[in-house]
């Protein structure tokens, strides 16, 4: 499965089978997580045992307590951290999907229950549940391209394609609080319209948008 195929196949999954991830699959995902961590200047960690990450009652009610593994999204606290976590974390999410796994970005978790390393000056911003879903998840109705972009009508195909792929990206409570603006000089501005975890969401949709750039043989804007 290619990354683009994974974009269409991936849906957020909150309920998982009682099944651990096989060693070979776990190693492949861990390798990708480490690559993403290095590329983004982050401290992402794949944890094959989720421990008590989803020990809170709300998480259990949501079903995330059944996730066998997590990706802990850690990085040096400072401007732009959430966007970089969203960008490189989404690459790991699509890799997991291509390996036959399911995922869910989760802002509700027990920080003390996450068995990860957090160095001085670092922050655990969010986690990603990983495992074999009881179902593959379902798509959710979202906004139109016109609602999250401007300049698309007269813009190049790669811009319209970027917006299309961005609309397939996961965002907190499906809020899609972002906008891509095609400026008169041909540059692209991404705007955070503010909402819960919208800074992470902005990084996620940027990664999807950049996939369209790569598809067109162009240099990614945010890599």
| Every domain of the chain and the residues it spans | 3-131, 145-215
Paired tokens of 94: 């699509």
Burial bucket for residue 35 (CB in 10 Å: 0-12, 13-18, 19+): middle
CATH fold of 3-131 reads NADH Oxidase (3.40.109)
Neighbours of 38 (CB within 10 A): 12
Topology alike, domains 3-131 and 145-215 = yes
Question: To which CATH superfamily is domain 145-215 assigned?
Answer: putative nitroreductase (tm1586), domain 2 (3.40.109.30)
β-pairing verdict for 149-150 and 178-182? parallel
pLDDT of residue 154: 79
Q: Please tell me the pTM assigned to this model.
A: 0.96
Using 50, 70 and 90 to split pLDDT, how confident is the model at 207?
very high
Using 50, 70 and 90 to split pLDDT, how confident is the model at 60?
low
For residue 187, what are the contacts with CB-CB under 8 A and spacing of at least 6? none
Distance separating alpha carbons of residues 38 and 111, to the nearest angstrom: 23
The mean pLDDT value for 93-116 works out to: 95
Burial bucket for residue 145 (CB in 10 Å: 0-12, 13-18, 19+): middle
């Amino acid at each position: 499965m290619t990354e683009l195929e994974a974009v269409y196949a991936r849906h957020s999954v909150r309920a998982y089978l009682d099944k651990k991830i096989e060693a070979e699959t776990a190693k492949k995902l861990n390798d990708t997580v480490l690559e993403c961590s290095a590329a983004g200047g982050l401290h992402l960690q794949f944890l094959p045992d989720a421990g008590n990450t989803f020990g809170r009652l709300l998480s259990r009610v949501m079903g995330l307590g059944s996730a066998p593994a997590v990706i802990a999204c850690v990085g040096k606290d400072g401007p732009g951290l959430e966007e970089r976590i969203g960008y490189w974390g989404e690459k790991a999410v699509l890799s997991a999907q291509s390996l036959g796994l399911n995922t869910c970005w989760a802002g509700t978790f027990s920080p003390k229950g996450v068995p990860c390393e957090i160095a001085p000056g670092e922050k655990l911003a969010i986690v990603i549940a990983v495992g074999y879903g009881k179902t593959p998840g379902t798509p959710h109705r979202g906004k139109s391209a016109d609602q999250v972009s401007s300049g698309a009508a007269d813009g190049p195909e790669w811009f319209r394609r970027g917006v299309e792929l961005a609309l397939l990206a996961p965002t907190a409570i499906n809020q899609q609080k972002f906008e891509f603006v095609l400026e008169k000089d041909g540059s692209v501005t991404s705007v955070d319209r503010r909402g819960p975890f919208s800074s992470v969401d902005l990084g996620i949709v940027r990664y999807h948008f950049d996939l369209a750039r790569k598809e067109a043989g162009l240099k990614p804007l945010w890599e």
